[in-house]
Amino acid sequence: MPTNTITIFDTTLRDGEQSPGASMNTEEKIQIALQLQKLGVDVIEAGFAAASPGDFEAIHRIASQVQHSRICSLARAVERDIKAAGESIAPAPLKRIHTFIATSPIHMEYKLKMSPAEVIKRATEAVTYAKTFCDDIEFSCEDAGRSDVGFMKEVLDAVIGAGATTLNIPDTVGYRLPHEMAAIIKELYGFVGERAVLSVHCHNDLGLAVANSLACLESGARQIECTINGLGERAGNAALEEIVMAIRTRQDIFAPLTTNINIKEIYPTSRLVASITGIEPQPNKAIVGKNAFAHESGIHQDGVLKHQETYEIINAKDIGLEKNSLVMGKHSGRHAFKDRLATLGYTLNDTELNEAFVLFKTLADQKKEVFDDDIRALVAEEITKIPEIFELVTLQLSDCNPGGVPNAAVTIRHEGKETTDAAIGNGTMDAVFKVIDRVCGVNGQLMDYKVDAVTQGKDALARVVVKVAFDDQKPAVMGHGLSVDTMWATAKAYIGALNSYMTIREGLRMRGLEKKGI
């Protein structure tokens, strides 16, 4: 019989990052990885090492810092990818290489242009080579949902013989229904038995990713691949929080199955990922949406007040969500601030605490009320901060009225020297970006821009996320800005993207990764 503990394989940093607009810099990825470890995730797929030097660097640094979760890198079934994956995860105490090749007729014919025999040969060679870097090898049949089960048996048998320890069956395009996925896993489990762990990776194109994942558990799947907030390509992946809480809430169905997830960290993890990516869960998102524990109907409100379980099957406090979101104000002291951070699940060193407290006091002077989500946003900004190669000192805007000529003036500090300049633009934002480019000596192309309010109220913090390509360098980098002033937050986000670009470029130069061709 398979084990009763379900392995939770989180791919937020790989598949989740492939959500449009969800790219993260290295420091942000490290903080998410550390939080995933705190959450109790068994396997963290930290990225696709061969995708770019930046991805390689991020995986390598995560592998150096995460001690308790297994660190995994994705790799195509080609030697170059596998070598990059193996080198990127080398520092990790627990490591895995995840290699894949498509097995569906449509992919083999039109994408790979390979025969079934060639696919089996390539898959076997990939697993054999991956075993030279570590013992834990996962193999995926890409587009398994549209693959012939008989052919997948041939492929899986071959890769087990080569040393694969986990076999992943992804519904890559979200095509299958729950009973179909369950039937596929049941047949494959009958063939594979205990020779390897069966895994599922379901996409949400038909809104069935979580349902499909759960349906496979009773058929023998013992690893589920998922992401925080259901992030992922197109319509996203199976949501980790929904899977874990479904298993826990419906023990009448799933017992004795369980996970190693610390559910108290679900909401803090969701908020951290949302703050860093700039992608908020939809308000009615299960478990972590803003309305997940909100009741407007008078009948519902009356019932919950009389007995919580009348209309709530999950206690909000179980997932780390405090009912009282109003925190403190400008008269709150450092000790109270530190205590509130602990309640929210944050542990900061003295330097981070001091700097976050300064940000908090500044915000408290600007806002009437400071909420938990304001605190989370401030802390996320502090702990994911990259070196300030360029620092925004002042920003002044003028002639912003319709018919006027938008003008922006900035003072930027670089290597101890302050430089002030001004520029006009087609709009206020355009003027801001142009003058920053001029002062910093770069050429940035804005690829994406998003602004949202962190909390409610006219004085709410504005969180700005930008995606910028500097000096025609690909891929573009992300920048984040946080302020009660939207244009200040915008300028900070743009300079943040520039600092990220400069830091990545210098890090790669220092490590000599360009020469490796990674």
For 308-339, what is each residue's pLDDT tens digit? 656 567 888 888 876 544 446 667 778 878 88
415: number of Cβ within 10 Å = 6
For residues 390-419, give the mean pLDDT: 88
Whether the pLDDT of residue 137 is over 80: the answer is yes
Check residue 507 and give its pLDDT: 65
Q: 48: which 2 tokens?
A: 């696709």
Check residue 455 and give its pLDDT: 79
Whether the pLDDT of residue 229 is over 70: the answer is yes
Q: Is 300 annotated as a binding residue?
A: no
Whether the pLDDT of residue 295 is over 60: the answer is no
Check residue 304 and give its pLDDT: 43
Q: Is 203 annotated as a binding residue?
A: yes
For the stretch 419-445, pLDDT in tens is 999 999 988 999 999 999 999 999 999
Q: Are the C-beta atoms of 385 and 503 separated by less than 8 Å?
A: no
Q: Can you give the length of the chain in residues?
A: 518
Higher pLDDT, 448 or 239: 239
For residues 159-170, give the mean pLDDT: 98
Minimum mean pLDDT among 187-191, 197-201, 346-350: which range? 346-350
Minimum mean pLDDT among 88-102, 230-244, 358-372, 489-503: which range? 358-372
Higher pLDDT, 329 or 56: 56
CA-wise closest residue to 357 among 330, 390, 384, 319: 330
Q: 450: which 2 tokens?
A: 């998003």
Residue with tokens 């994408």: 111
Whether the pLDDT of residue 404 is over 70: the answer is yes
Q: Which range has the top average pLDDT, 5-19, 382-396, 493-507?
A: 5-19
For the stretch 345-384, pLDDT in tens is 777 888 888 888 888 888 888 876 777 778 888 887 777 7
For residues 184-192, give the mean pLDDT: 98
What does the mean pLDDT of the chain come to? 88
Whether the pLDDT of residue 473 is over 50: the answer is yes
Check residue 309 and give its pLDDT: 59
Whether the pLDDT of residue 209 is over 90: the answer is yes
**SS3 assignment, position 187:** helix
For residues 488-494, give the mean pLDDT: 94
The helix, strand and coil proportions of the chain, stated in percent and rounded to the nearest 5, come to 45, 20, 35
For residues 125-149, give the mean pLDDT: 97
- Band (pLDDT 50/70/90 cuts) for residue 134 is very high
Higher pLDDT, 478 or 72: 72
**Residue 424 parent element (H or E):** strand 417-424
Bridge partners (DSSP) listed for residue 462: 453, 483
Residues whose CB falls within 8 Å of the CB of residue 467, separated by 6 or more in sequence, listed in order: 21, 23, 446, 447, 448, 449, 476, 477, 478, 479, 497
For the stretch 444-463, pLDDT in tens is 999 989 898 887 777 788 88
Ordered by where they begin, the domains of the chain are 7-277 (3.20.20.70), 298-383 (1.10.238), 390-510 (3.30.160.270)
Residue with tokens 């430089």: 419
Higher pLDDT, 155 or 357: 155
- Band (pLDDT 50/70/90 cuts) for residue 516 is very low
Q: What does the longest C-alpha to C-alpha distance in the chain come to?
A: 74
For residues 274-289, give the mean pLDDT: 89
d(CA 163, CA 156): 11
Q: Is 15 annotated as a binding residue?
A: yes
Check residue 518 and give its pLDDT: 42
Residues whose CB falls within 8 Å of the CB of residue 456, separated by 6 or more in sequence, listed in order: none
pTM of the model: 0.80
In terms of phi and psi (left: phi > 0; alpha: psi -120 to 50; beta: otherwise), the region of 180 is alpha
Q: Is 107 annotated as a binding residue?
A: no
- Band (pLDDT 50/70/90 cuts) for residue 42 is very high
